[in-house]
């Protein structure tokens, strides 16, 4: 078995973000993400041939960071690492409580974080299998989630809030995003729960939904509340972009009606 020093030396050669030429907040954030147990998870993923290298950060969030990674064929992937050292997951426990897939996790932060990683992977699987545009999930282990990279060699796809939509395209894009809500409820039996312009990417002219960890099963006791919030967020954003908005109550009724006809998993 490799020693800790050998593992770290190996990782320094393959994880650009560990290099020591950083200063200030960037280094502090990286240190929070790359704790010893996380480094061991990444090492296992590398020695098992899942990852070859981890390059630069794509995004930084309250719960974790997303990095650009490649496999041994130099194919791109996104590696999402959830922090195990902060308390922000306390507010996220409400998304797990009441989910029959995750029971008995209250009070153990590390187990909660591992469950959250598992939850996002499984939610992505559901959406992907239902043909909802999301990054294809690849693998997860403990607090690390590997998925499809949305972007190209120049960088990640932009958030929808940062792109300029042509007036002739706004209504079509709005309808595509509404399908995330309606078809996601009917076919994936999920409610995203935090859908907004911050977690929709635009790539090749099409919206892609991301950050699905908090998605709830459609029979969750809070599902309708979060469904209504998703609808209101989407309507608010697209109204400001000039779309022909459908009344929120009408969308809600259609979604619930479609859900009654859908596959209740």
257 is catalytic: no
Higher pLDDT, 47 or 90: 47
The two domains 4-155 and 157-261 share their CATH topology (first three levels equal):
no
Provide the mean pLDDT of the chain: 87
Domain ranges of the chain: 4-155, 157-261
CA 60 to CA 83: how far, in whole Å? 11
The residue annotated as part of the active site, out of 187, 211, 219, 230, is 211
pLDDT the model gives residue 51:
95
Share of the chain above pLDDT 90, in %: 63
Q: Is 194 an annotated catalytic residue? A: yes
Predicted model pTM: 0.89
Q: Which CATH architecture has domain 157-261?
A: Orthogonal Bundle (1.10)
Task: Check pLDDT > 90 for residue 129.
Answer: yes
pLDDT at position 49 is: 93
Q: Beta-carbon neighbour count of residue 161 at 10 Å?
A: 14
> Is pLDDT above 90 for 192?
yes
Burial class (CB in 10 A: 0-12, 13-18, 19+), 97: middle
pLDDT of residue 233: 98
Determine what percent of the chain is predicted with pLDDT higher than 70: 83
Q: Are 64 and 83 contacting, i.e. CB atoms less than 8 angstroms apart? A: yes
* The pLDDT value given to residue 93: 67
34-46 confidence digits (pLDDT tens): 888 889 999 999 9
Q: What is the DSSP letter of 92?
A: G
pLDDT at position 23 over 60: no
Q: Which of 44, 171, 194, 219 is catalytic?
A: 194
pLDDT (0 to 100) of residue 175: 98
Phi, psi angle pair for 223, to nearest 5°:
-60, -45
Work out the pLDDT band at 250, boundaries 50, 70, 90. very high
Q: Where are the alpha helices (DSSP H) in the chain?
A: 4-14, 24-33, 36-47, 93-96, 109-129, 167-187, 223-240, 248-261
Confidence of residue 106 (pLDDT cuts 50, 70, 90): low
Residue 2 has a pLDDT of 73
pLDDT for 81 beyond 90 = yes
Residue 20 has pLDDT above 60, yes or no: no
Topology given in CATH for the domain delimited by 4-155 = Phosphorylase Kinase; domain 1 (3.30.200)
DSSP states along 149-189 = --EETTEEPPBGGGSPPPHHHHHHHHHHHHHHHHHHHHHS-
24-28, 120-124, 159-163, 218-222: least confidently modelled range = 24-28
């Amino acid at each position: 078995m490799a020693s800790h020093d050998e593992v770290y030396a190996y990782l320094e050669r393959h994880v650009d973000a560990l290099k020591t030429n950083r200063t200030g907040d960037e280094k502090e954030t990286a240190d929070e993400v790359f704790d010893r147990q996380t480094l061991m998870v990444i090492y296992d993923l590398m020695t098992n041939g899942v990852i070859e290298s981890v390059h630069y950060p794509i995004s930084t969030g309250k719960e974790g960071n997303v990095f650009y990674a490649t496999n041994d064929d130099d194919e791109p992937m996104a590696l999402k690492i959830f922090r195990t050292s902060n308390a922000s997951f306390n507010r996220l426990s409400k998304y797990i409580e009441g989910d029959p897939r995750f029971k008995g996790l209250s009070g153990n932060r590390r187990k909660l974080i591992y469950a959250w990683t598992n939850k996002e992977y499984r939610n992505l699987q559901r959406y992907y299998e239902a043909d909802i545009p999301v990054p294809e999930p690849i693998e997860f282990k403990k607090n690390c989630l590997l998925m499809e990279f949305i972007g190209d060699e120049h960088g990640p796809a932009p958030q929808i809030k940062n792109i300029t939509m042509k007036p002739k395209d706004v209504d079509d894009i709005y309808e595509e995003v509404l399908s995330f809500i309606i078809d996601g409820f009917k076919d994936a039996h999920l409610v995203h729960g935090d859908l907004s312009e911050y977690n929709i990417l635009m790539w090749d002219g099409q919206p892609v939904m991301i950050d699905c960890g908090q998605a709830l099963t459609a029979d969750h006791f809070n599902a309708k509340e979060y469904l209504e919030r998703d609808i209101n967020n989407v309507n608010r954003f697209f109204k400001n972009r000039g779309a022909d908005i459908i009344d929120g109550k009408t969308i809600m009724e259609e979604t619930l009606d479609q859900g009654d006809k859908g596959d209740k998993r």
